[in-house]
Structure formats: structure tokens, C-alpha cells
Amino acid sequence: MTEEPNTCRNETWTYQGYHLDAGNFTTAMVHYYRAEVTRTNTWRNRLDTTTNWAVVTTAAALTFTFSAPENPHIVMLLVIALTMVFLRMEARRYSYYSLWYHRVRLLETEFFAKMLAPPFEPSHDWGDAMTETLMNPVFPISRFEAMGVRYRRNYVWLFTLSLLSWLTKLWMHPQPAASFQEMLARAEIGFNIHGVWVVAAVLLTYLLLTAMMIVVILRERRAGSTLKEDFHGRRMFPSLQPQPRLAVIITNKRAELAERILHELQRGVTALSGTGMYSGESRDVLLCALTGVQMTHLQRIVNEVDPHAFLVITQASSVRGQGFSPPS
């Protein structure tokens, strides 16, 4: 990989002044793809491990609780609390998994898939999207949303089974309860905590978890697909899109600056004519929309071509057009 201004004969990729031939670039992407797949599988296995812990713990508690009438019902309460800990752990692991999975999908859709169909080239800013996730990693979904997803897919059944088993234990052991009030009295635990408050707390916890699941489902339906939005016709997490910037350059060397921006950053440049109100001198104004990861390279270009140029960089809320989001 070289950093020469001249174009290589067999060049297939140019990014921020680097020129890679086909063999080097493909080898680099293949090794990177293997690394991301390995990391994704690692976190996927951790998700399964946490779920297995919750299943085994629930099964062991059920076996112990119903093996003898004198065994205390509080064991099921401890299992419910422990399952909530597992849910929290799994939500964190799911957040990491979704980040690595997003990178793998970007490679699959924008690199490998584009090898098979015309025009055999990736989208203009997929490299910026990938670089953004590497330099400034952001979890695609919040911990609350991750908990809602994992609860809906796995833990709702475990919590429901534990709740029904606990209520059954209260009703059946040590002998069938004669009334609902007797069952509530059996729910009493140490420190003089009345059974009514224990049952209310357990049911409230279950209802809050179910409400969390419903909120996440409604958000997914509003967003269209698992809190994702379009990225050049496909789906990706909005928080992982390349962040657009608008650069305003006031210079006397607009031709040299525009040529290097067009060639090295592959971004369009618009030239305007301006007048300095203090000096009364004519100035050229260049407008350029680009992504956040390209800002360092742009600053280097400006410093090399015109150290006296005036550079203003602002955050753009939305950029529509070629190389960015498609026109709405």
C-alpha cells in the first residue's frame, strides 16, 4: 500500500490518498471480514451462554421447589431475580453483537455482493460508514431496547413459567389452599413482609417487563424494521451512518484546492464568488459536503495548498444527493 499522488496502473481502490492494487485490497478485506465474523460469532455464543444459564437455573429451581411440599417458595423468587440479572447481562452482550453484526453486513452487501453484479463497485460512502464504526463505535440500539428484544425472544417464556410455577407452589403446598386469602398468606416472607405486597411486587415486575416488550415492538413497527432505516436502498442503523459535514473554504487558490478535493476525497465542490467586506478584495468561496472521517484529510489539503485560507466546518443535519442519502 503506497501513498503516492500518481495513479497506479492496476489501482482498484483509492481512499484518502492511498492506492491499493486488486490483490492487496482484496486480501485486506478478506482478512478483515474473517476477523469481524469471528468477533460476531463470539458475541453470538455469549448470548446463547447467558440464555442457557437462565434455562438451567429455572429448571433446577422448579425441580427443587416441587420435589417436596416443605421446600420454600422463596426459591422461585430468587430465580426470578437471578433471571433478571441474566436478562441485563444478555442485553449488554446483544448491544455488542449488533455492532459487530452491522459491520459484517456492510462488508457482505457493499464489497462481496458488489463483486457479483454490475456496476461492480460499492456505494460512494460505504467506506466512510465502515470507518465511522471503527473510529467512533456506537451501539446501534440502547440498553433498554436490547432488553426488550431479548425479553421478547427468550425471557418472556422463562418469566411466565417462573411466575406460574410460583403461584402454583403457593396454591398447592403444603396442601391445597382453601381460599385466595390463604394463598396470599403463604406468600409472606421474612422481616414481616406481608404476602399481598410480595405478590403485588412480583406481578408489577412482570407487567413492567411486558410493557417494555410492547414499547419496543411498537417502536420497531414505526421504524419499519428493528429500529433501522434506509442506507442506499438497504437497511442499516441510523446512528451508524456517516455523519455529514459542510465545509466552507475562502481562498485565492480555488482551482488547486478543488482539484485535490475532487481527486483525493472524491467529493463534489461548488465555487462561489465573494467579497471581503473589510478589505474589499475579491475572494473565492468553495462549498463541499463530506463526511466526518474525511475532515482531517481536508484540513491537510487546505494547509498544504493555501495556509492562509479561511476554513469553516459545520455539522449538516441532512445531505441529499449522490454520495449521501438518496433524494427523498
Say what the pLDDT of residue 75 is: 93
C-alpha dist (Å) from residue 10 to 14, 123, 264 = 11, 20, 17
**Among the listed residues 249, 232, 206, the one whose alpha carbon sits nearest the alpha carbon of residue 110:** 232
Can you name the residues that pair with 270 across neighbouring β-strands?
287
Q: Nine-digit cell at 308?
A: 492562509
Say what the pLDDT of residue 325 is: 56
Q: Does the CA dihedral 310-316-319-325 come out positive or negative?
A: positive
C-alpha dist (Å) from residue 11 to 21, 73, 205, 313 = 4, 70, 60, 31
Residue 320 lies in a domain: no
Residues 43 and 82 in one domain: yes
Say what the pLDDT of residue 7 is: 45
Residues 188 and 267 in one domain: no
Residues 39 and 136 in one domain: yes
Say what the pLDDT of residue 15 is: 60
> Cα torsion for 37, 41, 42, 46, to the nearest 10°?
150
Report the alpha-carbon distance of residue 150 to residue 156 in Å, rounded: 9
Report the alpha-carbon distance of residue 205 to residue 199 in Å, rounded: 10
Question: Range of 305's domain?
Answer: 243-315
Residue 216 burial (C-beta neighbours within 10 Å; 0-12, 13-18, 19+): buried
In order, the DSSP letters of 102-119 are: HHHHHHIIIIIGGGTSTT
Q: Which of 236, 270, 298 is the last residue of a domain?
A: 236
Taking only the tens of pLDDT, the chain with its 328 residues reads 444 444 445 555 666 666 767 777 778 888 989 999 999 999 999 999 999 999 999 999 999 999 999 999 999 999 999 999 999 999 999 999 988 888 888 888 777 877 776 667 776 667 777 877 887 788 888 899 999 999 999 999 999 999 999 999 999 988 998 899 999 889 988 778 888 999 999 999 999 999 999 998 888 777 654 444 333 333 444 444 556 788 888 888 888 888 888 888 878 888 888 887 777 778 888 888 887 767 778 888 888 888 888 888 887 766 666 555 555 4
Residues 266 and 148 in one domain: no
Residue 327 lies in a domain: no
Query: Residue 261 belongs to a domain with what CATH number?
Result: 3.30.70.120
Say what the pLDDT of residue 223 is: 66
Say what the pLDDT of residue 45 is: 93
Say what the pLDDT of residue 146 is: 92
Can you name the residues that pair with 249 across neighbouring β-strands?
286, 311
Can you name the residues that pair with 2 across neighbouring β-strands?
19
Residues 83 and 107 in one domain: yes
Rg (CA), the chain: 29
Say what the pLDDT of residue 317 is: 64
Residue 191 lies in a domain: yes
Containing 263, the helix (H) or strand (E) segment is none
Which residues, other chains included, contact 42 with Cβ-Cβ below 8 Å and sequence gap of 6+?
none
Question: What does pTM read for this prediction?
Answer: 0.67
- Say how many domains are in the chain: 2
Q: Nine-digit cell at 63?
A: 425441580
